[in-house]
Chain A
Amino acid sequence: MRRLALTLVFSLAASLASFAQDLSQDQDAGTGELPPPSANLPVFASQPVSRPFEAMPGQTAASRVLFEGAGPSNTQIVIREILVGPGANVRLDALPGAGLIDTRSGSGVLRAGDRLDPLHIAGPVSVPAGVPLELTNRGDDSLLLRLYLLETR
C-alpha cells in the first residue's frame, strides 16, 4: 500500500513537472514584437507582383505607371501612382497636359506654381499644365497619390 502511495506521489510530481515544462516551453515567444530585421538577412525574393513601385532617383518617393494609352481626339492618357515618404518633399517636372491628383492614403500639400492645395482622401485636385509641381507629405505615414494625365499628342 505504501509503495502504491509513493508511486502515485512520484507519478503526480512527474506529471506536474511535465505540465510546468509544457507551459514554459516557449512562454515568452510570440508575446512581444520581433526585433528589427538584421541588415545581414537576405532580401526575400517574393512572388512576382504586378507593376511594383520604382524609386524616383534623388527623391524620397517611388512611382509606377498603371496605364498608358491613346485617348480621344489625339490625346494620350497616362495614369501613375506616386508614393511620397513621411515628411518628404518631392519635385515633379511640369506636366505636358492637364492632370488630376486623387489622394488614396495619407495627407499633404500640392504646390503648383503659386497655387497651394491640400491633399487628402476624397479630395481630388486639378493640376495645370506647364508649371513645376511640388508634393509635400505632412503626415507620419506614406502619401499615396494617383495622377491622371491627359496630354495632347
Chain B
Amino acid sequence: MSGRLSLAVWAAALFGCGTAAQAADDDWPHYRRDESRSGEQRHFSDLADPAKVPGLAIRWQWPPTPAGVGGAFYASPIVIDGRVFIGANNGKFYALDANTGALIWSYPPSPQPPLIGSCGSVGDVQAFGAYGILSSASPYKNTIVFGAPDPDPAVDGGLGSARLFALDQSTGALVWKSDVVARVNGCAFGATAEQHERIAYSSPLVHGDRIYVGIHDAGDDPIQNGKLIAIDADTGRIRPAFNFEATSARGGGIWNAPAAERDDVLFTTGNTSDGVVSEPVPNHGLSMMSVEARSGAINWQFQPVPFALDDDPDWAAGVSTERTGCGRIAASVMKDGWSYALDANNGECRWQFPATVPPSDHCRFPASGAHVHGDTDYKRPGAFWRNTFAIVTGGEALVAAGGVFNGYGRLHGLNVCAASPSHRVRWIADVPHNGGGGYALGAPTATHGIFYITTDQGHVVAIADPAVSPPAGVRCSQVLTPVASCTALGFSLVYAPAVLADVALTDGADAAGLRNEPAIANGRLFVATQGGHVYMLSP
C-alpha cells in the first residue's frame, strides 16, 4: 500500500470521515484528473517507474467482443473507488468494474431511448442534437454527472436540447436531470433565427456545491453565443445568480471543460467573427477567461488575437492550471498553434510559444499582424508535471510557411518557468501516428515525469522526460532546421525523449478523439477508442 493511500486509510479509521464513494488520491475522478485540469497523477505507481513502464500491456477490454458498444468513445474514462465511468456517442453511459472490466450498469436502462436528439445523424459529433455523450463525467457526492441531449419529445420536440444528468454511482439510478442548459429548437443549417446550442465537448466542472458547463455550437452553423451555466449540484436547478455570456450577440462558444482555481472558474472561448460583420460588444471571444465562481463576474480576460485577425482560431483546448515553481500558472493552446501561459491570479501573460510578438505587446498580436490565425487543429489541453508543461502545439516552426502543420503528431515538453524564450523547449517527442493531422494525438497525461498519450493508430504511448529516463537523442527546437546549424540560427538543441512503451490497442480504432486522454488511476491506465472499447493497461 502506498504512503498517501495508507495515510488516507489511517485518517478514515481514526476520524471516521471516509465514505466508499469518495475519490481517493490515486483515483482519476475528473477529466484531466482534477478541478484544476492539471492532467497529472501525483500518486506514485508502477506507471511512474521507468523500469516497469516497458512492461505496459492490456489487462482487459470492454466489451470483450470485437464489436464494441455500437458507438464511439470521444470522452475519456474517469475512475472512482474501483469503478470506471464513461459515456459514448450512442447516447449511453456505462459503469464498469475497474478490476475486471465487467459492466456494472448502463443508463438509460432498457427500454428507455438513448440520450440522443433527433436533429442530425445518430452519433454525428457535429450534429446539433444527435451527438450523444462526447465529454467526460464528474463526480458529486455519491452521484456521477455528465451532459447529453434529452430525447424527450416534451423538451423542444426532442430535437436535442441538452442538460446534465446525475446518476447514483452504485446503481445508475437517475438522481436528477438538470434544467435545460443548451437549447436546440431547429435543424436548419445556418439559421440565425434558431438556437443550435450544445454542451457536447464541455465536461462539467464540479466545484463546491455547483456544477459549471460551457455552451458552444456545432460546426459554426451558425456560431452561438457562448455561455457558462452554473447548476446547483444537489438539485440540478440553474443558479440564476451566476451569469456569463461571451458576447451580446453571437460567438465566443465554450468548447472545453472549465477549470477551478480557488473561488474562480477558468475557461477559454471560441471565435466571434464567423458570419459576423462587426465586432460584438462586449467581445469575450478568443479569450482565456477567469470569472468569479459565485456570480460569473469577470476577474480577467486575455485575448491574444484581435477581432481583425479572427479567422477562426477558436480556443478549443481548455485551461490547465498548476502551482509551479514560478507561481500559479494557467496554460493552453489556441487552434492556430500558439500556446500561452498566464499568471492565474491576474491573467498577465508570462509567455507565448513560440514567442512571436515583442514583449511590449504582452503576447497580444497587433491588429495589423502578419500571421495567420486560422481554423487549424490544436485543440487538446496540455499536462503539467511540476515546472514542465507537455502539449501538442505549433512549435518554433509555426511562423514558417506551412509551419503550422509541423506541430501535429508531436508532443512538446515546455519549461514553464524558463526566463528566456530560447530555453522554453525542454524536449520534443515524435509520436507515431497515421497522419491524422491535428487529430493524430489525444491529450497527454502525466505521472512523475512519464507522459501518456493516445494516437489515431489506436496506440497508447509512454514518453519519459529525460530527467527520469535517458533520452533517445538530440534535435533542434525548430523542427525544420538541421541540428548542425540549429544554434547558429537562433534555436536550441533539445532532447528527443525516450519512448518507454508503445502498445497497440486490439480494436485498432482511433484513440485520439477530441476529449480522449489516458486516465492514470491506481497504477493502471484506462483508455477508450472510437471503436467503442474501453481498455485497462498496466505494467
A49 to chain B, nearest CB (A): 6
Answer whether residue A152 sits at the interface, using C-beta atoms and an 8 A cutoff: no
Looking at B104-112, B184-192, B483-491, the stretch in contact with chain A turns out to be B483-491
A143 to B472, CA, bound (A): 30
- Cα A140 to Cα B387 in complex, Å, equals 25
Q: How far is the CB of A20 from chain B (nearest CB, A)?
A: 7
Query: Cβ of B400 and Cβ of A15 under 8 Å apart?
Result: no
Instruction: Answer whether residue B370 sits at the interface, using C-beta atoms and an 8 A cutoff.
Output: yes
Is B482 interfacial (CB-CB < 8 Å)?
yes
Contact of A42 with B by CB under 8 A? yes
Given contacts A30-B388, A46-B475, contact A102 B370 (CB under 8 A): yes
> Do A144 and B399 contact each other (CB < 8 Å), given the known contacts A61-B489, A83-B481?
yes
Which of B371, B448, B491 interacts with A142 by CB under 8 Å?
A: B491
Q: Does B301 contact A (CB under 8 A)?
A: no
In A86-129, the 8 Å CB interface with B consists of 86, 88, 102-106, 121-122
From residue 3 to 32 of chain A, which have CB atoms closer than 8 A to chain B? 11-12, 14-23, 25-26, 29-32
| Known A22-B4, A141-B421, A144-B399; contact A121-B370, beta-carbon cutoff 8 A | yes
> How far is it, in angstroms, between the C-alpha of A137 and the C-alpha of B491 when the chains are bound?
14
Q: What is the bound-complex CA distance between A84 and B325, given in angstroms? A: 34
| C-alpha gap A35/B62 in the complex (Å) | 44
Residue of A nearest to B427 (CB): A34
Tally chain B residues at the interface, Cβ within 8 Å: 66
Q: Which residues of B contact A37 (CB under 8 A)?
A: 471, 474, 493-495
Give the distance in Å from the alpha carbon of A144 to the alpha carbon of B491 in the complex: 12
Of chain A, the residue at the smallest CB distance from B468 is: A29
> If the complex has contacts A22-B44, A29-B465, A60-B489, are A47 and B368 also in contact, measured as CB distance less than 8 A?
no
In the bound complex, residues from chain B placing their C-beta under 8 Å from that of A19 are: 3-4, 6-7
Asked if A36 lies at the interface with its beta carbon under 8 angstroms from chain B, I say yes
Query: Are A55 and B482 closer than 8 Å at their CB atoms?
Result: yes
Please report the C-alpha to C-alpha distance between residue A27 and residue B43 in the assembled complex, in whole angstroms. 13
Query: Does B490 contact A26, Cβ atoms closer than 8 Å?
Result: no
Chain B's closest residue to A67 (CB) is: B401
Is A18 a contact partner of B448 (Cβ separation < 8 A)?
A: no
Chain A: CB-nearest residue to B473: A44
Q: How far is the CA of A52 from the CA of B476 in the complex (A)?
A: 12
Interface size class of A (residues with CB under 8 A): 35 or more
Please, which residues of chain A bring their CB within 8 A of the CB of B490? Answer: 83, 85-86, 106, 137, 140-143
Q: A143 contacts which chain B residues (CB < 8 A)?
A: 490
B385: nearest chain-A partner, CB-CB = A30
Establish whether residues B467 and A29, one from each chain, have CB atoms under 8 Å apart when the complex forms: yes
Q: Which of A26, A44, A83, A104 contacts B474 (CB 8 A)?
A: A44
- Decide if A50 is an interface residue (CB 8 Å cutoff): yes
Chain B residues positioned under 8 Å from A45 (CB to CB):
473
Which chain B residues border A23 with CB–CB below 8 Å? Answer: 3
Are A52 and B401 interface neighbours, CB within 8 A? no
Q: How close is A127's CB to chain B, nearest CB, in angstroms?
A: 17
Instruction: Contact check, B474 vs A122: say whether CB atoms are below 8 A apart.
Output: no
Chain B residues contacting A38 (CB-CB under 8 Å) are 474
Bound-complex Cα distance A57 to B483 (A): 15
Smallest CB separation, A25 vs chain B (Å) = 5
1/0 per residue, CB under 8 A from A, across B363-398: the answer is 000101111000000000000011110000000010
- In the assembly, what is the distance between CA of A42 and CA of B44, in Å? 31
Chain B residues, CB < 8 A from A62? 481-482, 485, 489
Q: In this complex, what residue of A is CB-closest to B406?
A: A49
Q: Verify if B65 is at the interface (C-beta below 8 Å from A).
A: no
User: Is A146 an interface position by the 8 A CB rule?
Assistant: yes
CB distance from B386 to the nearest CB of A (A): 4
Given A31-B386, A37-B495, also A26-B449 (CB < 8 A): yes
Contacts of B483 in A (CB 8 A): 43
Residue of B nearest to A84 (CB): B489
Residues of B within 8 A of A55 (CB): 482, 484-485
The answer to the question of A2 belonging to the interface, with a C-beta cut-off of 8 Å to chain B, is no
Q: How far is the CA of A117 from the CA of B234 in the complex (A)?
A: 66
Give the contacts of B1-35 with A (CB-CB under 8 A).
Answer: 1-4, 6-7, 10
Report the Cα distance A33→B385, complex, angstroms.
13
Q: Of all chain A residues, which has the CB nearest B366?
A: A122
A37-B493, A102-B370 given; A30·B467 CB < 8 A: yes
Instruction: Give chain A nearest CB distance to B495 CB in angstroms.
Output: 6
Contact (Cβ within 8 A) B449 A15: no
* Neighbour of A105 across the interface among B388, B399, B466, B493, CB < 8 A: B399
Q: Mark B478-511, 1 if CB is under 8 A from A, else 0.
A: 1111111100111101111000000000000000
**For A142, what are the chain B residues with a Cβ–Cβ distance below 8 Å?**
478, 489-491
Q: A33-B426, A37-B474 given as contacts; is B448 within 8 A of A25 (CB)?
A: yes
Q: Which residue of A lies closest to B410 (CB)?
A: A47
Chain B's closest residue to A56 (CB) is B485
B402 at interface, CB cutoff 8 A? yes
Chain A proximity of B497: nearest CB distance (Å): 10
Is the pair B494, A30 in contact by a Cβ cutoff of 8 Å? Answer: no
> Residue B423 at the A interface, CB < 8 A?
yes
* Interchain CB contact under 8 A, A33 and B415: yes
A129 → chain B, closest Cβ, in Å? 23
In the complex, the answer to whether B430 meets A47 with C-beta atoms within 8 Å is yes
Contact partners of B496 in chain A: CB under 8 A: 44, 46
A selection of 5 A-B contacts at a CB cut-off of 8 Å is A22-B4, A33-B415, A38-B474, A62-B489, A83-B481
Given contacts A47-B430, A53-B489, 4 further A-B contacts (CB under 8 A): A30-B468, A52-B482, A81-B400, A81-B401
Chain A residues in the interface with B (C-beta under 8 A): 11-12, 14-23, 25-26, 29-34, 36-38, 41-47, 49-55, 60-62, 64, 66, 79, 81, 83-86, 88, 102-106, 121-122, 137, 140-144, 146
- When A and B form their complex, which 3 residue pairs have the shortest distance between CB atoms, in order from nearest? A142-B490, A19-B3, A18-B3
